[in-house]
Amino acid sequence: MDFFKEFLNGDFMPHGHCLLWREDLLLLHVGGDALTSIAYLLIPLALLKLVKARTDLHLDWMIMLFAGFIFFCGATHILGIINVWHGYYYIHGLIKTLTGVISIATAILLWRLLPQAIAHPSKQALTDKILQLQQAEQRLANANQTLEQEVAKRTAQLEKMANTDDLTGLLNRREIMRILSLEITRAERHNIPLSILMLDLDEFKQINDTYGHHAGDKLLIACAEQFRLTSRNIDFIGRLGGEEFLILLPDTNYEEAKPLAERCRMAIEKNLVVTDIPKGCTVSIGVVQWSLGMTLQQLINQADELLYKAKSNGRNCVY
């Protein structure tokens, strides 16, 4: 009991020379201890705030231990101030010992954590890694873009192949019919004229039989080229099959279509040059202007009928 009395009233040890301190010396010691104590008490509060705010750090126990260590350091300085007037040397010693124990614990844990901390990537390493990732991402984006361009190119090639006649490079039957259907809808909606030319090479079988199938192919290619040269860039030219072609003339009435058909006929008769076939070739053409209410099939049938008429009337003519 006596021990506790002495422990708390500060008389356990005599003050000795403390009461003899001069004012400036006292201010220096008390001021220094007070400033250090304030700092040592503020640091644990800051660490507590950090632990509360950053639950993701996973080192909260280590930070709390460090906060405790700092707190006890602060407490020894407070006791240093008190001891100037009261001799609580026993409590002071006790707090110093506690500070020592918690410091040792912190030091041991700090050393144990050191490899983990060293292994943790530095800010520079993380910055480098981010840079590497950004570069890799850029490379990936570039590769992706190239791939997309390649796919678009291949798709366009495949579409072209699917829509094109292999031999002549003109539109194939499916594609010219698809476009004709669209153009009929457009003509209907905007009330604009639309005409077609149905073209068939004359006595092509005989050419094939005389000069061979290969020469016949050359002639088909040369005819396709003449049709290209003769028609306008708004027109669509297709090969329906064999030696039969269709030229689609958007925004064109019969009066405009007929001379165009005539130019095609003349081009085949006069301009066609196929070395294997010296006698050349001619073409018969049926011209029809689409009229309101006419279906695609009716349009084609009417063009076929006119073509048949041209064939029956001696070929190499336009009907």
Q: Does 213 bind ligand GTP (CB under 6 A)?
A: yes
Q: Does 200 bind ligand GTP (CB under 6 A)?
A: yes
Smallest gap from Cβ 245 to ligand GTP, in A, equals 12
Position among 201, 222, 261, 277 found at the interface with ligand GTP (CB under 6 A): 201
Nearer to ligand GTP, 208 or 253 (CB): 208
Smallest gap from Cβ 273 to ligand GTP, in A, equals 17
Instruction: Determine whether 243 is an active site residue.
Output: yes
User: Per-residue contact track with ligand GTP, 242 to 261, x per CB under 6 A?
Assistant: xx------------------
Position among 6, 60, 188, 217 found at the interface with ligand GTP (CB under 6 A): 217
Binding region for ligand GTP (CB under 6 A) out of 76-84, 87-95, 128-136, 197-205:
197-205
> Pick the catalytic residue: 23, 243, 244, 269?
243
Cα–Cα distance measured from residue 160 to residue 245, given in angstroms and rounded to the nearest whole number: 18
Active site residues: 243
Instruction: Enumerate binding residues for ligand GTP (CB under 6 A).
Output: 167, 200-206, 208, 213, 216-217, 220, 242-243, 311, 315
